[in-house]
Amino acid sequence: MNQTEINTSLFKRLRFVLVETSRAGNVGSVARAMKTMGFSDLVLVAPRCADPLHDAEAVAFASGAGDVLQNARIVGTIQEALEGCNFAAAVSARLREFSPPVWTPRAFSVHVAGRGELRPALILGNERVGLPNEIVEGCNVLINIPANPDYSSLNLSQAAQVLAYEARMAAAGDTVDERGVGFHGDAASVTQIDGMYAHLEEALVAVGFLNANNPKKLMPRLKRLFSRTGLETEEVNILRGIARAIIEGVSGK
C-alpha cells in the first residue's frame, strides 16, 4: 500500500476514543497498540488519571508510539470526542437490553473500510466499569469481542489491539460491505442523529404518545430500532421534518 492510499483509507479515518481511563499506563499501551497497526487518532474523554499524555508510566508503556500519545487530544465530553464522526461503535464485553446491534470487530472493520464516506470511532470505557448505558445507546453498533465464555476478560489495551488488528486487515484487503452495492448517501453524524432523537421525542410528547414524566423505555427502544438502519443525512432530515410537522400541527401553527 503506497502513501497516497494510506492517507485516504481507514488508517486516517478511524478514531479511538477512551472514556474516563483510570491508569495512564493503559493510555500508553493503547497508543502502542494503535501505532503497530497504523492508526494514530486518539481522543481521551475526561481521563481519571493525572496528565496521561506525559505520565512516566504512559510514556514507558507507549514505547515507540510516543508520537501517538503526544498528539492525543483530551476533551470533557463524548460529544466533543465524536465531533466529525458519523459512525460510532461502543466496545463492551457486557451486552445491554437496549443496545444497538451487536457486531464483531471483523464485521465493524469490513463495514467501515468498505465505505470511504464513513468517519468511524471506536469507544472504549473505563477499566473497571466500562461504558455507561447512555453512551452505548447513542452508538450505531455495539462491538463484542468473541472470547472464552468462561473467562472473557480483556484489559483495555488488549481490546484495542484486537480492534486495531481487525481494522488493519480490513483496510489492507478486499472488503465487501454487507449492505451490498448501489447508492449510499452520506452517513449521518452522531450529532445529527442525537438532534433527531431529541426532535422526535418532542413530537411524541406533543401528540401524547410519550409521557415525559414517565417515558419508560420508549426512546431507548426507538434508538435501537434506528441504529439498525444506518441512517443517512437526508433520512435524518426527513425524520426531523416529520417531527416538525407533528409539532406544528399540534400547536395549530
**Cell digits of residue 162:** 484486537
CA dist 27 and 47 (Å) reads: 9
139 against 114, higher pLDDT: 139
Domain locations in the chain? Answer: 3-172, 190-251
Q: Which amino acid is at 146?
A: P
Whether 223 shows a pLDDT value over 90: the answer reads no
Give pLDDT tens digits for 41-61: 999 999 999 999 999 999 999
Distance in angstroms (rounded) separating the CA atoms of residues 21 and 56: 16
Q: Under CATH, which architecture does the 190-251 domain have?
A: Orthogonal Bundle (1.10)
What whole-number percentage of the chain has pLDDT above 90?
56
Q: Taking the domain 3-172, which CATH number applies?
A: 3.40.1280.10
Does 182 score more than 80 pLDDT? no
Cα gap 41→18, rounded to integer Å = 11
Sheet holding 41-45, edge to edge: 73-75, 41-45, 15-19, 120-124, 87-91, 141-143, 102-103
The answer to whether residue 1 scores a pLDDT higher than 70 is: no
Residue 132 has pLDDT above 90, yes or no: yes
- What's the gap between Cα 173 and its chain centre? 23
Residue 174 in this model has a pLDDT that exceeds 90: no
Q: Do domains 3-172 and 190-251 have the same CATH topology?
A: no
In this prediction the pTM is: 0.73
- What are the distances in angstroms from CA 193 to CA 88, 92, 165? 11, 22, 29
Confidence (pLDDT) at 183: 52
